[in-house]
Amino acid sequence: MSDQATRTVATPTAKKTPKSAAFDYQKYRPFAFAPSLPDRTWPSKTIEKSPIWASVDLRDGNQALIDPMTIEQKMRFFETLVDVGFKEIEIGFPSAAQVEFDFARKLIEENHVPNDVTLQVLVQAREHLIARTFESLKGAKRAVVHVYNSTSRVQREKVYGKDKAEIKEIAIVGAKLLKEYAAKYPETEWVFQYSPESFSQTETEYAVEVCDAVCEVWQPQNGQEVIFNLPATVEASMPNVFADQVEYFCRHLAMREHVIVSLHTHNDRGCAVAAAELGVLAGADRIEGTLLGNGERTGNMDIMVMAMNLFSQGIDPELDFSNMSEIVQVVSECNNLPLHPRHPYVGELVFTAFSGSHQDAIKKSLDYNEQHTDQTDNIWDVAYLPIDPAHIGRSYQDVVRINSQSGKGGVAYILQRNYGFNLPRWMQIDFSRVVQQQAETVARELQNDEILQTFENTYLRQGSFELLDYSVNNKGGQVYFNGQVQMNGDTITIDGTGNGPLSSFINGLAQHTGKSLHIINYAEHAINPQHNSGNGIDDDNNRDNKTNANAAAYIQLNVDGEVYSGIGTCSSTVSAMLKGALSAFAQALNTTAA
């Protein structure tokens, strides 16, 4: 009796005629193999440690490829799996093809298997295949022989035409054969693994019955290592239902304390990782899967994703993905499969924000952490970034990229991180409009050097406007400015008085041009020397008040009632602010002329 009623979240409605006869949902029925488990315990549990990982890339992943891997590709992949830290690796199906058999022999005979790594192979419950499988593993120090037969209702009735008793007998015979052939190779430490294939579509109580019968043959309570692997060969239910199946199995298996329970989920519903995670909560000890999720149909459970999920929660995954780019390259090249740019953790765009609000939040979070290092306890906590990209070998240049959807925060992040310009908010708003217009014009993403070029052209290179020379003197509490400025090919002299160099320059500029000029906002900062190359910074060795690092000054002017922003850079802070004012004024004149 199923407790499906407790899972219902919406009242069923009357059947409707499909809009298209070719898209007929009425041909399907609700999942029929959910066990009755009203007292399920897994929802209140948490994962506190890594499961045992077993890579099946070289077998399950390989058999799903259009062009299966060569021995050379398999060897490269195997070495990568060892480097990542896998201790159990399924290397193939030796009885199915000569290349599979030869690869197993190469690993063993040429001593490519580290002492702490266990090989695993798959075989159907047939004697001639089992005999060939043990032959392929001769001389191995330790190996898992994984035998299986399908137990699902659809396979029993429509594929094999056998009843439950006959299907169970196939499993028992296979178990006996493993025990018999293992005895012929006593130099190897053998681990027996059995899978009731299509466990997810098998009546759970029947799966327990079959595995209990296998236990009677293998006698794990007497020291034989045994793994029961529960495959969602076809993912046919929600992950919580699969978790119920796993918990039911673990509760009712007679020899549970003497065996390892393993899971092998597929991704037909797109929930393979979720099903595996909930299955661990439900009592499983071990997880089989592939890197990047390659496998039959929609793929296997992605071990990399599940391991990184643990990593992001402060749990040691016991696998090392710090060199993620190289790992992805090996997997993609050996499988001859592209990587989706949005693939979790490793896709080109997964740490990239185009949205303006996302960019702004990322920038502010990173700035806050830099300014409050004594308060963060070195714990990662950044908006929109679940992990620090640096932990898997990615740089911060991957985080923010600019297109027409981007906002002021993203543009400011690029200029600050790459070129040392820390734009105040009002300048961010001003420049983001310029960048957005450019992105809309070219209808594509803007590269960092294009953003810098636009920034320089907008503020730092104002055509024929240039501060040529000046002097500043203090007399009787007033500051007197005298200097020469080039405007549209003419050199003019500016004289002005104020309470500081900037105000005296602005006053003199207003008197000479007849414009109404008022300073609205002003900001300045030193630019780290590492950013001085290639960011449009000018130097002025004839000015006083030079700083050890170049300075950037940001000026916002009201010119005849309209607001304009400008930027100046120089080794002198005074020169930088004067150039910033001239930059804003030049924009006003150029805009009026246009």
Q: Considering the domain 51-335, what is its CATH architecture? A: Alpha-Beta Barrel (3.20)
> Does 112 carry a binding-site annotation?
no
Biggest alpha carbon–alpha carbon distance for the chain: 110
For residue 2, pLDDT over 50 is answered with no
The residues facing 54 across adjacent strands are: 288
Question: How far is CA 297 from each of CA 66, 196, 270, 303, rounded to the nearest angstrom?
Answer: 12, 20, 11, 17
Amino acid at 370: E
Tokens linked to 441:
């014009």
The mean per-residue pLDDT over the stretch 493-502 comes to 89
CA dist., res. 165 & res. 323, Å (int): 50
Alpha carbon distance 62, 56 (integer Å): 9
d(C-alpha 24, C-alpha 70), whole Å:
42
Domain span(s) for CATH 3.30.160.270 in the chain? 466-593
**Secondary structure percentages of the chain, helix, strand, coil, to 5:** 45, 20, 35
For domain 466-593, the CATH superfamily is Alpha-isopropylmalate synthase LeuA, regulatory domain (3.30.160.270)
Long-range contacts of 512-519 (CB under 8 A, 24+ apart): 515/559, 515/560, 515/585, 515/588, 516/558, 516/559, 516/560, 516/561, 517/557, 517/558, 517/559, 517/585, 518/557, 518/558, 519/555, 519/556, 519/557, 519/558, 519/581
Tokens, residue 431 = 């420049």
- The residue among 150, 142, 144, 98 whose CA lies nearest residue 124 is 150
- pTM reported for the whole predicted model: 0.71
Nearest to 353 by CA among 383, 393, 309: 383
60 is in an annotated binding site: yes
pLDDT digits (tens, 9 = 90+) for 81-102: 999 999 999 999 999 999 999 9
- Say how far apart CA 470 and CA 267 lie, in whole Å: 71
pLDDT in tens, 295-344: 999 999 999 999 999 999 999 999 999 999 899 989 999 999 988 888 99
> Which of the residue ranges 256-270, 305-319, 329-343, 391-405 would you say has the lowest mean pLDDT?
391-405
Return the higher-pLDDT residue of 6 and 295: 295
Per-residue pLDDT at 439: 77
Task: Give the pair of three-digit tokens for residue 288.
Answer: 């089989």
The contacts of residue 29 (CB under 8 Å, 6+ apart) are: none
The pLDDT of residue 591 is 72
Q: How far is CA 72 from CA 102, 107, 238, 461, in A?
A: 11, 11, 39, 57
Q: Where does CATH 3.20.20.70 sit in the chain?
A: 51-335
Q: What are phi and psi of 122, to 5 degrees?
A: -110, 145
pLDDT value at position 476? 77
DSSP state, residue 363: H
| Residue 356 pLDDT greater than 80, yes or no | no
13/55: higher pLDDT: 55
User: Using alpha carbons only, what angle is made at residue 492 by residues 487 and 497, rounded to the nearest 5 degrees?
Assistant: 110
